[in-house]
Amino acid sequence: MRHKILKYTVMLTAWFILPVMVLAQEGEAHTLSNGDTAWIIVATILVMMMVIPGLALFYGGLVRRKNVLSVLMQCLILTAVIIIEWVTVGYSLAFTSSEGDLNILIGGFDKIFLHNIGINDLLEGYTIPELLFVSFQGMFAVITPALIVGAFAERIKFGGFLLFSLLWALLVYNPLAHWVWGGGWIAAMGAIDFAGGTVVHVNAGISALVMAILLGRRKGWNVKGVPPITPHNVPFVVIGTALLWLGWLGFNGGSGLAADGLAASAILITNIAASAAALTWVILDWVINKKPTVIGFCTGVVAGLVAITPAAGSSGVLGACVIGAAAGSICFFMVAHVKPRLDYDDSLDAFGVHGIGGVIGSLLIGVFATQAITGEGGAQGALYGDWNQLWIQVIATTGTVVFSAVMTWIIFRTVDAVVGIRASRASESVGLDISEHGEIAYE
């Protein structure tokens, strides 16, 4: 009798308690986490630091002294313009859903001007405020067109640059962000892009190549008998690299949107890949050119950071080492040998580092993705017996390349016809600091 009473007591207790436990667990996923929120706030600040001052100093040091202010101004103005564009319409186009089949291509207008997002509203499925997600992703939207600056530095009109960049953000970045992260066709395929390999780096790098070709070479670049164009301030480049490397830990580490093991793994993997790429670049520099250069080390770091960006949430230590070394070696040969031979003036190697590095990382996800990182039932690459992910990555990367190239060509031709893009030869000779902004950096 006692056993029956105990049995029924346990059953009744479970009947009432288990639903409460389930509801508590379900509610936990939709409860604000102070830890996650604090980390993504920090990550957002780190990513903004990548643009100003990180990228601004990195690019500013690489150009000649008569053009340093123009590059700094381009990074500064893009930060302001794209933040306004993002909260006005960009976020809604990238991260909401549109009606029917149109959703595979672009989002809707439900959240223009951040309409319907309250300060206490959480991002669906996460433990952070949606407004914080808007800010975090807004920094990605800022840095992507800023990367293209490296392709046309020292020879672009400020007005043409500004109009081109705004249209590019609206018509190229926002749709691609939706394809990959907002429920579009690339996401539906199961492609992996943890922190922006296709959306940011392949996208910007391919657009940079198109811009460099359409604008034409700088006066005196790659001309036999004319001294090479050299960086005016290598310490600026070093400081910019340091800020980029530090900021990239927020770029990749924050992309899981939580302060957890995945964030810790992404930060570690990011550092490993950057180190492997930098060391590879320095060794090649040392062996081929007989000198291990500071600029080479800095460029190698960025190449490794670029390549690991899409793979930081799916690859382990082995993948990080190989991806970093591959980026360091392939980007080195693109910058040092392919560019001069093909004679396209990618001023600061936006295509050679970001475009090529992004393609390397995006494709090698299909080789090195491991369930040790993605979890049981998650994606894994060819190295672990699944070739399907590799083909998915190939399709996603190819689609990004084609879309970016075609749209950049269209926007360039349109803006050039309306306001003009290429600075005059006289302006280029005197320097864009004076001709475009009426200022000089150094007395």
- CATH number at 105 reads 1.10.3430.10
Residues with pLDDT less than 50, the chain: 1-28
Residue 12: what pLDDT?
40
Contacts of residue 281, Cβ cutoff 8 Å, sequence gap at least 6 = 296, 297, 299, 300, 303, 328, 329, 331, 332
Asked whether residue 79 is assigned to any structural domain, the reply reads: yes
Asked whether residue 174 is assigned to any structural domain, the reply reads: yes
Residue 16: what pLDDT?
37
Number of structural domains found in the chain:
1
Least Cα distance to 424 among 413, 441, 414, 436 occurs for 436
Asked whether residue 10 is assigned to any structural domain, the reply reads: no
Whole-structure pTM value: 0.92
Residue 21: what pLDDT?
41
- Chain centroid to Cα 392, Å, comes to 20
Residue 332: what pLDDT?
98
Asked whether residue 28 is assigned to any structural domain, the reply reads: no
Asked whether residue 89 is assigned to any structural domain, the reply reads: yes
Residue 321: what pLDDT?
98
**Residue 305 Cα distances to 43, 164, 353, angstroms:** 16, 27, 10
Distance CA 49, CA 399 (A): 30
Residue 100: what pLDDT?
82
Asked whether residue 27 is assigned to any structural domain, the reply reads: no
Domain that holds residue 203: 33-437
Residue 2: what pLDDT?
47
DSSP result, 193-252: -SSSIIIIIIHHHHHHHHHHHHH-PPTTTT-TTSPPP--S-HHHHHHHHHHHHHHHHHHH
Asked whether residue 327 is assigned to any structural domain, the reply reads: yes
Are 170 and 89 in contact by the 8 Å Cβ rule? The answer is: yes
Residue 83: what pLDDT?
98
Distance CA 33, CA 124 (A): 13
Are 307 and 327 in contact by the 8 Å Cβ rule? The answer is: yes
